[in-house]
Structure 1
């Protein structure tokens, strides 16, 4: 996807967006936003009658593989954005949705645009990790009147992909961990894909990289489940982006921020290993957007090596 004017958005979709605008408003520009794996994201600049502009974000499920699941994901995201309104969690506002592509060329969601940008570099990480942890604690503290559906764990002991050159004994032990029965858990409101790629920071010349969170995006997988699952997911992403130590550090930061993980080390290990092993199946699809965003050194191989080191560190610290 390249930045540019709006040739890439089908006419039917633009017409649908136009019908959601206020009188006298029009779309003056649209540009691709990078980083999405499942959907195409575009920022639309809307011209207002007073000569000003505002921005909206359009998420469209273009890829046939993902479009198949789009109706379900969009229903979940709409439910989440509705529940989040007025909670203080900085999430986009819902403008309109066309989950079955009745009006648009593809299943689509139109929402408000949040200021800020994702920050995937190493610089300023020690400042951002506690901010990420505090934000996740705030999400887990939400008690919506209507719960989202229960979480689904996709990985099984049989689908794990052991990286080339990994310590076979460590990985066999890790796989045995997720063969155990699911530990008892207390339900929490989960984002389910909380990680640096879905958190926006305000980045100003006068301020260190990412000193304030301005938004949390992509609520399509919102679920009800154990807090440890969200902690585990953000931890493994930090481990792959910045090195294994940061994965371990995030779990500590979550507790320091007032988050309550599972009491027993064996239970915390179960969830953290489960999410780490889930990553083994999608190293390629996860690392590609990171490279596109400028982290060119994060080749599939480099990320596999970090995953191996992180799984080893988990087994050492909690196993």
Structure 2
């Protein structure tokens, strides 16, 4: 079935979607959603008895990712159910196919949440505060019964000196720090990919957190650090620092900041020479270049290493 923008769903996938509803339904519109880089996202309009409802379908098409983590669809499905049970604003799980045996490709079908991604807000202070309070609320869940456990994305022992950087030796110092012992932390539910492109807004308020495929239990500092390294690339260090201050305000005594997790989050994004994340461009972010992103990452690194001098 082809959507109005030329993207197609396999007939097997269409039949699987229809089978998830108690009453006969028709899929009357299929629209590819922007911003997805590691999976394929569609918005579906499903019609039954003259009523239209919107859903989001995620298809896990990347074979190399599925080889490393074959249960991606199951992971996101479990995470969505868990987060909804905890009272978080997340899409409601309709169905999933862990292997793709029925749907043709591993799939998660979920409700479409109201709101849209906002990357260039008109009121930075309100935007940062709301972003931080949303994350602090997420971390109130201790998640001791959550089966997925945190691990870093990169092994720092395998990272090479970044030849693109103007402060290569400082990066090597960061690798050395990250390879040391982890600080103690309070375990909680973490989204693991919390950044502005995974948050929906309406009327300057957060309406939902999306993209739950990496959720696990682990240190809150990893979520904070991942968001901060995204903000540092998009807007610069001062916005990343404002976000940290706002998060500390909302989390209170539940959170003890340690720059170690910021460094881990920074080394986690290293994969060759840094470039502008395609998702930012897809959501209308302007003014970024690969050179600017690399410059901001160097600056951010130095600001983090300065924090270690204070410890």
Same fold, judged at TM 0.5 (above): yes
Contact 2:248 2:255 in 1 (8 A): no
Give distance in 1, aligned partners of 2:85 and 2:148: 21
Give distance in 1, aligned partners of 2:298 and 2:121: 20
Give distance in 1, aligned partners of 2:235 and 2:135: 19
Contact 1:35 1:293 in 2 (8 A): yes
For 2:221, the equivalent position in structure 1 comes to 228
Structure 1 SS opposite 2:247? helix
For 1:126, the equivalent position in structure 2 comes to 125
For 2:189, the equivalent position in structure 1 comes to 189
Unpaired segments ≥5 residues, structure 2 = none
Q: 1:143 to 1:185 in 2, by over 3 A?
A: closer
1:113 paired with 2:112, answer yes
Contact 1:148 1:189 in 2 (8 A): no
Q: 1:299 to 1:272 in 2, by over 3 A?
A: same
For 1:63, the equivalent position in structure 2 comes to 62
CA RMSD of aligned residues (A): 2.3
Structure 1 residue 123, shift from structure 2 partner: 3.3
Q: 1:194 to 1:148 in 2, by over 3 A?
A: farther
For 2:284, the equivalent position in structure 1 comes to 294
Give distance in 1, aligned partners of 2:273 and 2:192: 18
Structure 2 SS opposite 1:257? helix
1:280 paired with 2:270, answer yes
Structure 1 residue 194, shift from structure 2 partner: 0.8
Structure 2 SS opposite 1:312? helix
Give distance in 2, aligned partners of 1:250 and 1:150: 25
Q: Which moved more, 1:300-309 or 1:156-165?
A: 156-165
For 1:243, the equivalent position in structure 2 comes to 236
Give distance in 1, aligned partners of 2:277 and 2:291: 10
Q: How many residues align?
A: 307
1:253 paired with 2:253, answer no
Structure 1 residue 3, shift from structure 2 partner: 7.3
The C-alpha deviation readout for 1:189-208, integer Å capped at 9, x for no partner, is 11111111111011xxxx4x
